Amino acid sequence: MLIPYLIAKIHRATVTGADLHYEGSIAIDEEIMEKAGLRVFQKVDVYNVNNGRRWSTYVLPWKRASGGIVVNGAAARMVHPGDLVIIAAYALLDEKELNSLSATILTMGDGNEVEKITHTKL
């Protein structure tokens, strides 16, 4: 049996932009993506800390070292620049995979600087 487990989280990132007329996605600074272990087109869930809204989308790269977190498409109606969000990626894993994997958690600070990286064994 496969069970969904958290494998990556970007905790309390600040939304830097919202573009209603762009194809749906969340664009994330390439450097932040790499540190979190996220890939282009990977499915993520996004949780808006400011208003409680939640949605699923996919990841696209944004300008490296820009701190950009840009919500695109219909989800742009659920955020405002300056809102804090949690971006979470999950994987379907079986019991055998749990011992060899860890979740990567990025805790974000001002300007979407990575304050802390934690690797937690599953």
pLDDT digits (tens, 9 = 90+) for 40-92: 999 999 999 999 999 999 999 999 999 999 999 999 999 999 999 999 999 99
Query: Which CATH number do you get for residue 81?
Result: 2.40.40.20
User: Judging by DSSP bridges, how do beta strands 69-72 and 114-121 pair with one another?
Assistant: unpaired
| pLDDT of amino acid 24 | 81
Residue 47 designated active-site: no
| pLDDT of amino acid 65 | 97
Residue 66 designated active-site: no
User: Which of 56, 83, 74, 71 has the alpha carbon at shortest distance from 17?
Assistant: 71
Q: What is the number of helices (H) and of strands (E) in the chain?
A: 2, 9
For residues 9 and 88, the answer to whether their CB atoms sit within 8 Å is: yes
Catalytic residue among 58, 66, 100, 102: 58
Q: What residue numbers bound the domain in which 104 lies?
A: 3-111
The verdict on residue 107 lying in a domain is yes
Compute how many other C-beta atoms are within 10 angstroms of the C-beta atom of residue 29: 23
The verdict on residue 44 lying in a domain is yes
